């Protein structure tokens, strides 16, 4: 069955306009050959450290940015080939919830108007009228009818994010890109907002691309996980597989750093990554993780060469998953 969203080799290189790499015609490889899919009604968790290219991926999918290369298909249709009227339809079917609910709402626009805005922009009049639809949406996300004429500054962070979710739902989308929708919220409120998103998915069948920098946020929520590092996907798979038996050294390191609910839990298995994140303007050749990979220094020279040669591809972007999982680091005969 064709997945709802298919992303193949998606690439976004930003030209460098200042600094050392400018004269050399350098580029920032924000997204560098990313491939994944999202099934109808499913959730893909896209996780990785700050600056790895998560939001750029989301913006490319929203058509807020033009890809440098690669393909995005919704229901099998290549979106770069859509005509203007079809693009409007695409914009209805794919919506976004942003990280910071305060800056994504206009302080001078009432909550009711903010939720109605996508309907008015698309010139859609729902059967019972715009106002009734907005009231339904407010009810759906747990806002009271008297909130309609209030302004964003009168709301808590969690309530503002509910407004953002109601606005994203206004056009009955098939896919919502949630770009770190809970990372600006208190932990207790995070759980409420995630529960709300899960309820909405159960009721409407909407799919989510859920962006997070913390694996624990997506663990109980996503059907599949894709782990991103320096513009590339390091590992992807079903959530249970990735959490139960991570195979890429980066995923293993991230998982070992996930906070344990029990403070007395054994922390001896924690893998600490050395060094800083390399610049996306000058990533390592071959495997982009090699400068911080805990497995790389343990490899014998013949195996190590592979890491600097061709970039590893596939669902697990590592040439040496056997060693990452604990096998001897010598060349197999
Ligand atoms: N418009 C732009 N021009 C130049 N570089 C950009 C632009 N947008 C993003 N970048 C760079 O691309 C890289 C990826 O940025 P992006 O915002 O996608 O990361 P992220 O994973 O969402 O990070 P965070 O977790 O901090 O939100 C970063 O190095 C960033 O500085
Ligand atoms: S390919 Fe080499 S450097 Fe890259 S993750 Fe695997 S072992 Fe580490
Ligand atoms: Mg981001």
**Residues 157-187: tens digit of each pLDDT:** 999 999 999 999 999 999 999 999 998 888 8
Q: Indicate if ligand 2 lies below 6 Å from the C-beta of 319.
A: yes
Nearest residue (by CA) to ligand 1, atom 27, is 50
Ligand nearest to the CA of 235: 2
- Cα(212) to ligand 3 centroid in Å equals 8
pLDDT given at position 333: 43
CATH of 5-233, one of 3.20.20.70, 3.40.50.300, 3.40.190.10, 3.20.10.10: 3.40.50.300
Q: Indicate if ligand 1 lies below 6 Å from the C-beta of 169.
A: no
The three state secondary structure string of 298-326 is HCCHHHHHHHHCCCCCCCECCCCHHHHCC
- Could you please report the per-residue DSSP string of 259-304? PPSSTTS--TTPPPPPSPPPPTTSPPSSSTTGGG-SSGGGS-HHHH
Element at 237 (helix H, strand E): strand 232-238
Do the beta carbons of residue 79 and residue 19 sit within 8 Å? no
- Cα(213) to ligand 3 centroid in Å equals 9
pLDDT given at position 19: 66
Nearest residue (by CA) to ligand 2, atom 6, is 318
Give the chain's residues under pLDDT 50: 332-333
Do the beta carbons of residue 194 and residue 202 sit within 8 Å? no
Q: What percent of the chain has pLDDT over 70?
A: 92
- Domain borders along the chain are 5-233, 246-324
Which numbered atom of ligand 2 lies nearest the CA of 250?
A: 5
Nearest C-alpha neighbor of 166 from the set 190, 130, 191:
130
- Cα(56) to ligand 1 centroid in Å equals 6
pLDDT given at position 118: 95
Which numbered atom of ligand 1 lies nearest the CA of 99?
A: 27
Distance CA 195, CA 43 (A): 13
């Amino acid at each position: 069955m064709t997945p709802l969203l298919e992303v193949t080799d998606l690439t976004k290189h930003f030209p460098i306009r200042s600094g050392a790499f400018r004269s050399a015609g350098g580029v920032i490889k924000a997204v560098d050959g990313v491939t994944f899919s999202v099934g109808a009604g499913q959730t893909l968790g896209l996780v990785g450290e700050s600056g790895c290219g998560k939001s750029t991926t989301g913006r490319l999918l929203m058509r807020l940015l033009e890809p440098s290369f690669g393909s995005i298909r919704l229901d099998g249709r290549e979106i770069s080939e859509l005509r203007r009227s079809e693009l409007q339809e695409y914009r209805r079917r794919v919506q976004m919830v942003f990280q910071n609910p305060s800056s994504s709402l206009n302080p001078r626009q009432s909550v009711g108007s903010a939720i109605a805005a996508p309907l008015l922009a698309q010139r859609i009049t729902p059967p019972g009228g715009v106002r009734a639809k907005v009231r339904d949406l407010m009810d759906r996300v747990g806002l009271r009818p008297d909130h309609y004429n209030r302004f964003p500054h009168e709301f808590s962070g969690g309530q503002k994010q509910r407004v953002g979710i109601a606005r994203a739902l206004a056009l009955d989308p098939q896919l919502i890109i949630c770009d770190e929708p809970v990372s600006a919220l208190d932990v207790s409120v995070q759980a409420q907002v995630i529960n709300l998103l899960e309820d909405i998915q159960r009721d409407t069948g909407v799919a989510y691309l859920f962006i997070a920098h913390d694996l624990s946020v997506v663990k109980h929520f996503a059907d599949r996980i894709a782990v991103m590092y320096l513009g590339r996907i390091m590992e992807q798979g079903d959530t249970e597989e990735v959490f139960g038996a991570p195979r890429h050294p980066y995923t293993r390191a991230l998982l070992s750093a996930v906070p344990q609910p029990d403070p007395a839990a054994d922390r001896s298995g924690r893998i600490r990554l050395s060094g800083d994140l390399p610049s996306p303007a000058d990533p390592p050749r071959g495997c982009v993780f090699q400068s911080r990979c805990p497995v790389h220094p343990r490899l014998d020279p013949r195996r190590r060469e592979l890491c600097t040669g061709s970039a590893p591809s596939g669902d697990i972007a590592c040439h040496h998953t056997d060693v990452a999982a604990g096998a001897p680091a010598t060349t197999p005969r």
